[in-house]
Each structure stands twice: as structure tokens, then as C-alpha cells.
Amino acid sequence: MTALFNFQSLLLVLLLTICTSTYAHYVFPGIMDRNKDNYLVGPFWKCARVGERLSPYVGIACVVMAVVEFVG
């Protein structure tokens, strides 16, 4: 079953995308800011914004998903 059809896996992929995009924006801010209107880099720029502005909630969600993966 792919991650698109399993809700738990979809949430995990979304959280990992947000975390990775936030880290990439922290390391290479110029590349992502310059191409934020690009159809290829734009969604990752938006994920980086979500990760920067909602970082406590994203961190809590990552811990919850880790516990769910460990228990389940």
C-alpha cells in the first residue's frame, strides 16, 4: 500500500516534507526565496513557512508520530 492510500503514512510523509523543507530553507535561504513562485520549488517554500511558523506544533506532531510508529 502506498503512502497516498494510508492516512498514517500520508501524515508521516507530510511531516517529513515540512521538516526537510524547513531545514533546506535554513541552509539555503536564497535559493528557496528566489524561486518561491516556481511551480517546482513553490510547494517546498510553503512547507518551509509552515515549519518555521508552527514549529512547536510540528515538533509535537513528530513526537506523536514517533510514538505511534513505535507502539503500533
In the prediction, which pLDDT does 2 show?
A: 65
pLDDT 10s digits, 27-70: 999 988 898 888 888 999 999 999 999 999 999 999 999 998 88
* Within a domain: 54: yes
| Segments forming the whole domain that contains residue 45 | 14-71
Distance CA 38, CA 53 (A): 21
* Within a domain: 33: yes
* Within a domain: 9: no
- Number of structural domains found in the chain: 1
* Within a domain: 6: no
* Within a domain: 1: no
Distance CA 72, CA 70 (A): 6
- Range 34-64 burial, b when 16+ CB lie within 10 A, else e: eebeeeebeebbebbbbbeeeeeebeebeee
* Within a domain: 8: no
Distances (CA, A) of 25 to 40, 64, 66, 72: 15, 24, 24, 32
Enter the pTM of the model: 0.85
